[in-house]
Chains A and B, each alone.
Chain A
């Protein structure tokens, strides 16, 4: 909830109580800084289940605290990051992951950036080829000689510097 709440409260006029996000408490932290850092990294990717779009690392909710302690217990027991996350997912489901796993359900989600970029790029490329074939087909159109190209770019460059 946290920061987004400023926006939310504003626009929705929500009135329920909100607590400042203070999340990780000193008494939860592991003594070994390396292990603690791993715990923080894992926590940042796990959703506080009762919150809106907030990780357990940032949430004051009691379930978030329970999960943070659970993550640290598992790390201290010698599990890898992956094992810890798998364990949490086996208990709470995919919903707990802020970065959804790649699956048939999320295929479109993960593919969107590439689809739009490559689709748009392909469209531009094909249209461009269409354009250039049209240009070539124009009667009397000829490729400029190297010398003409030079003169043209010089002229254009001059013009462009003036602008």
Chain B
């Protein structure tokens, strides 16, 4: 009965979504305020219904109700409680339901907190969100219904895929979807502006917090997925340029561009059409990602053709929204007025440069991801595009962009002074040279490129700090005054500095682990030891283990320095999940400062020996800590009073008032 309630709520949500898609739009076009006013309550109801539906599915998972096909196929009664809940979205149907639930959440947030929005704009935004949720609810109910029943109900389920039985499943997909789907709000604002034919600088101010929110979650989601893959897969890789990863990376790249161009639009009323296009592109890339991972087209063009229902349905959604949005853009964009001239050397100029490189990077990843599919589809020839291609093309595009980052926030709007900014960055430059020298002298004199990479990371971090120091007047006013000014700086400035220095930390982690990681692959017997990067790993013993739904062999190792100082233990296990008879490896990881010793147990041989893989990964945790700092930067910016979602906005004065002008 409960299951049917959830199913019914989903159907009702679809019906209300249709209403939300059509009625408010009609009201807006006829300028009928009473009809327009229905949009917000409808959106809130849709959210309540989808949340109810999602809650019902989650409770079916928690209670191991195997009369539901979806639960039977993806859960097991002996799984720990956490995985019996997270299993809800560890499968196609459930994760689609999470997708629409988050879409409805964002829509409801716009409805509830968008009080300062003009009614007409808000109505149109909610209507477009209604179109999106109608399409995806229809997709779920017609092709991927999570509430289908099974009779008679089996006694036991088939178990959740063991790889997914991890805390990562609890965190990664919700964060990723909050990012992916969050960009729908920017998209809907763009479509609303096109329908309305009007777009003021205030538009950017309303869109920016939503974009920033989505971007912050997407950053966290991608980083979390990367760390999960790193520790769960027993191999220590953290990024693979796989199409599925690229699918989440493309919206991040173009979302980053959008975040920056929206600043130009808000402050200077320039780059309007481009910002609008970016808002459309970013969510389109989210939709494309959904299509790529869900249609099965990645496994093979042929497997897509053999079972096309779901794939074709999403393709139709894709064509409708992307095609429709671009058509509308082509028809209406030219009617928007552009303004705000600026010199090439200016804050705007720097942000345009940022957009140019990010757009090129997005295009590179997009074409690289789709190229093999297209070539196979039209010519039948099979080619591969993998990590070596992306490293060779994406890398060089990023370097000039990263070099330019510290200049951006220091340049003045309209017309900046290049040499004055260069002077202010002298300290950062010196610090960066010092970092290069330290790497060359202390670490490895032959690793020139790695040293330059480390210098680049230092440049980013020092540049971000220079920005804060300059704006608080360090060196020009007395130190206490500067300290007071620093505290008084708008939070969005701290957000920028955190974002950019987080980027620097991530670059540092990537460079260090790519250039200086160490690896040993050997067969060891108990009592054997090996040395790696100053650590000594001694094989102690293998002990059998039993978990709630798996059996395991755990290999224990003593970890010490080569000089003999004990650092405790490190252990790695091979598990067999009994329901599926599927093996997994639990890697042993020990963190020392920012570096890690990573140990993974391979095949066991006769006579008590085992293949053991040990890595030393210098500064590897900075890759994700950097992302965490970026994320904190995002939230700090969001907490800025002038960016707060729904905060009443003072009329924008053309006069600059000290300390009230936000800087991205």
Q: Which of B73, B235, B412 contacts A156 (CB 8 A)?
A: B412
Is B150 an interface residue when CB atoms closer than 8 A count as contact? Answer: no
Is A131 an interface residue when CB atoms closer than 8 A count as contact? Answer: yes
Q: Which of B389, B523, B584 contacts A98 (CB 8 A)?
A: B389
Report B499-531 residues with CB < 8 Å from chain A CB: 521-523
> Could you tell me if B299 and A52 are in contact, using CB atoms closer than 8 angstroms?
yes
Task: Give the number of residue pairs across the A-B interface with Cβ within 8 Å.
Answer: 222
* Closest Cβ–Cβ distance, residue B659 to chain A (whole Å): 6
Please list the 6 inter-chain residue pairs (A to B) with the smallest Cβ-Cβ separation, ordered nearest first.
Answer: A98-B386, A4-B242, A3-B229, A99-B388, A13-B91, A11-B293
* Chain A 5-27: CB-based contact to B (< 8 A → 1; otherwise 0): 11111111111011111111111
Residues of B within 8 A of A160 (CB): 412-413
**Nearest residue in A to B390 (C-beta to C-beta)?**
A99
Q: Which of B203-211, B377-385, B548-556, B646-654 touches A?
A: B377-385
Is A97 an interface residue when CB atoms closer than 8 A count as contact? Answer: yes
> Could you tell me if B603 and A22 are in contact, using CB atoms closer than 8 angstroms?
yes
> Could you tell me if B521 and A116 are in contact, using CB atoms closer than 8 angstroms?
no
> Could you tell me if B659 and A162 are in contact, using CB atoms closer than 8 angstroms?
yes
* Closest Cβ–Cβ distance, residue A7 to chain B (whole Å): 4
**Residue positions of B touching A, CB distance < 8 A:** 73-74, 89-93, 95, 158, 161, 163-164, 168-169, 172-173, 225, 228-230, 232-235, 237-238, 240-245, 248, 293-294, 296, 298-299, 341, 344, 352, 356-357, 359-361, 363-364, 367-368, 371, 375, 379, 381-389, 392-394, 396-397, 412-415, 417, 420, 470-471, 473, 476, 490, 521-523, 580, 582-585, 600, 602-603, 611, 613, 656, 658-659, 661, 663
**Residue positions of A touching B, CB distance < 8 A:** 2-15, 17-27, 29, 44-45, 47, 52-53, 55, 58, 93-100, 105-106, 108-110, 112-113, 116-117, 120-121, 124, 128, 131, 135, 152-153, 156-157, 159-163
Q: Which of B90, B168, B381, B414 contacts A94 (CB 8 A)?
A: B381
> Could you tell me if A15 and B341 are in contact, using CB atoms closer than 8 angstroms?
no
> Could you tell me if A21 and B169 are in contact, using CB atoms closer than 8 angstroms?
no
> Could you tell me if A113 and B397 are in contact, using CB atoms closer than 8 angstroms?
yes
Residues of A within 8 A of B414 (CB): 156
In the assembled complex, the Cα of A135 lies from the Cα of B659 at a distance in Å of: 31
* Closest Cβ–Cβ distance, residue B95 to chain A (whole Å): 6
> Could you tell me if A3 and B360 are in contact, using CB atoms closer than 8 angstroms?
no
> Could you tell me if A100 and B389 are in contact, using CB atoms closer than 8 angstroms?
yes
Q: Which of B375, B387, B613 contacts A105 (CB 8 A)?
A: B375
* Closest Cβ–Cβ distance, residue B158 to chain A (whole Å): 8
> Could you tell me if A153 and B417 are in contact, using CB atoms closer than 8 angstroms?
yes
> Could you tell me if B359 and A26 are in contact, using CB atoms closer than 8 angstroms?
no
In the assembled complex, the Cα of A156 lies from the Cα of B95 at a distance in Å of: 52
Given contacts A12-B92, A120-B359, contact A161 B471 (CB under 8 A): yes
Residues of B within 8 A of A20 (CB): 233-235, 583-585, 600
* Closest Cβ–Cβ distance, residue A57 to chain B (whole Å): 10
> Could you tell me if A6 and B232 are in contact, using CB atoms closer than 8 angstroms?
yes
Residues of A within 8 A of B379 (CB): 105
Residues of B within 8 A of A99 (CB): 385-386, 388-389, 392
In the assembled complex, the Cα of A63 lies from the Cα of B383 at a distance in Å of: 18
Q: Among the interface residues B168, B228, B233, B371, which one has the most CB atoms of the partner chain A within 10 A?
A: B233
In the assembled complex, the Cα of A38 lies from the Cα of B384 at a distance in Å of: 22
Residues of A within 8 A of B476 (CB): 161
**Nearest residue in A to B242 (C-beta to C-beta)?**
A4
In the assembled complex, the Cα of A98 lies from the Cα of B158 at a distance in Å of: 36
**Nearest residue in A to B159 (C-beta to C-beta)?**
A15
> Could you tell me if A116 and B360 are in contact, using CB atoms closer than 8 angstroms?
yes
> Could you tell me if B360 and A53 are in contact, using CB atoms closer than 8 angstroms?
no
* Closest Cβ–Cβ distance, residue A134 to chain B (whole Å): 9
Residues of A within 8 A of B383 (CB): 94-95, 97, 100, 105-106
Q: List 25 A-B contacts (CB under 8 A).
A: A2-B233, A3-B238, A6-B232, A7-B225, A8-B242, A13-B74, A19-B583, A20-B233, A22-B602, A23-B235, A25-B602, A53-B243, A95-B383, A95-B384, A97-B384, A98-B387, A100-B385, A106-B383, A109-B371, A113-B364, A131-B341, A152-B415, A157-B420, A159-B656, A163-B658
> Could you tell me if A3 and B242 are in contact, using CB atoms closer than 8 angstroms?
yes
> Could you tell me if B299 and A116 are in contact, using CB atoms closer than 8 angstroms?
no
In the assembled complex, the Cα of A52 lies from the Cα of B140 at a distance in Å of: 27
Q: Among the interface residues B163, B294, B420, B661, which one has the most CB atoms of the partner chain A within 10 A?
A: B163
> Could you tell me if A8 and B293 are in contact, using CB atoms closer than 8 angstroms?
yes
> Could you tell me if B229 and A25 are in contact, using CB atoms closer than 8 angstroms?
no
In the assembled complex, the Cα of A73 lies from the Cα of B255 at a distance in Å of: 48
Q: Which of B158, B240, B243, B359 contacts A3 (CB 8 A)?
A: B240
Residues of B within 8 A of A13 (CB): 74, 90-93, 95
Residues of A within 8 A of B164 (CB): 6, 9-10
In the assembled complex, the Cα of A44 lies from the Cα of B519 at a distance in Å of: 15
> Could you tell me if A53 and B583 are in contact, using CB atoms closer than 8 angstroms?
no
> Could you tell me if A6 and B233 are in contact, using CB atoms closer than 8 angstroms?
yes
* Closest Cβ–Cβ distance, residue A5 to chain B (whole Å): 7
> Could you tell me if B235 and A47 are in contact, using CB atoms closer than 8 angstroms?
no
Residues of B within 8 A of A22 (CB): 234-235, 585, 600, 602-603, 611, 613
> Could you tell me if B388 and A44 are in contact, using CB atoms closer than 8 angstroms?
yes
In the assembled complex, the Cα of A58 lies from the Cα of B235 at a distance in Å of: 8
In the assembled complex, the Cα of A29 lies from the Cα of B659 at a distance in Å of: 64
In the assembled complex, the Cα of A14 lies from the Cα of B344 at a distance in Å of: 50
Residues of A within 8 A of B248 (CB): 7
* Closest Cβ–Cβ distance, residue A37 to chain B (whole Å): 11
> Could you tell me if A95 and B382 are in contact, using CB atoms closer than 8 angstroms?
yes
Q: Which of B230, B237, B397 contacts A117 (CB 8 A)?
A: B397
Given contacts A20-B583, A93-B382, A162-B659, contact A7 B242 (CB under 8 A): yes
> Could you tell me if B233 and A21 are in contact, using CB atoms closer than 8 angstroms?
yes
**Nearest residue in B to A162 (C-beta to C-beta)?**
B658
In the assembled complex, the Cα of A109 lies from the Cα of B240 at a distance in Å of: 19
In the assembled complex, the Cα of A21 lies from the Cα of B663 at a distance in Å of: 46
> Could you tell me if A10 and B173 are in contact, using CB atoms closer than 8 angstroms?
yes
* Closest Cβ–Cβ distance, residue A16 to chain B (whole Å): 10
In the assembled complex, the Cα of A23 lies from the Cα of B92 at a distance in Å of: 29
Given contacts A117-B360, A163-B663, contact A8 B244 (CB under 8 A): yes
Residues of A within 8 A of B392 (CB): 99
In the assembled complex, the Cα of A94 lies from the Cα of B381 at a distance in Å of: 9
Given contacts A11-B95, A26-B523, A95-B382, contact A53 B242 (CB under 8 A): yes
Q: Among the interface residues A7, A58, A124, A152, which one has the most CB atoms of the partner chain B within 10 A?
A: A7
Q: Among the interface residues A20, A21, A106, A117, which one has the most CB atoms of the partner chain B within 10 A?
A: A20
**Nearest residue in A to B296 (C-beta to C-beta)?**
A12
**Nearest residue in A to B226 (C-beta to C-beta)?**
A3
Q: Which of A2, A100, A163 contacts B384 (CB 8 A)?
A: A100
**Nearest residue in A to B375 (C-beta to C-beta)?**
A105
In the assembled complex, the Cα of A97 lies from the Cα of B169 at a distance in Å of: 33
**Other than the known A95-B382, A100-B385, what 6 A-B pairs have Cβ atoms closer than 8 Å?**
A9-B90, A18-B163, A21-B235, A26-B611, A98-B389, A120-B359
In the assembled complex, the Cα of A18 lies from the Cα of B580 at a distance in Å of: 11
Residues of A within 8 A of B232 (CB): 6
Given contacts A15-B161, A100-B389, A105-B375, contact A53 B293 (CB under 8 A): no
Residues of B within 8 A of A55 (CB): 386-387
In the assembled complex, the Cα of A26 lies from the Cα of B21 at a distance in Å of: 61
In the assembled complex, the Cα of A163 lies from the Cα of B470 at a distance in Å of: 11
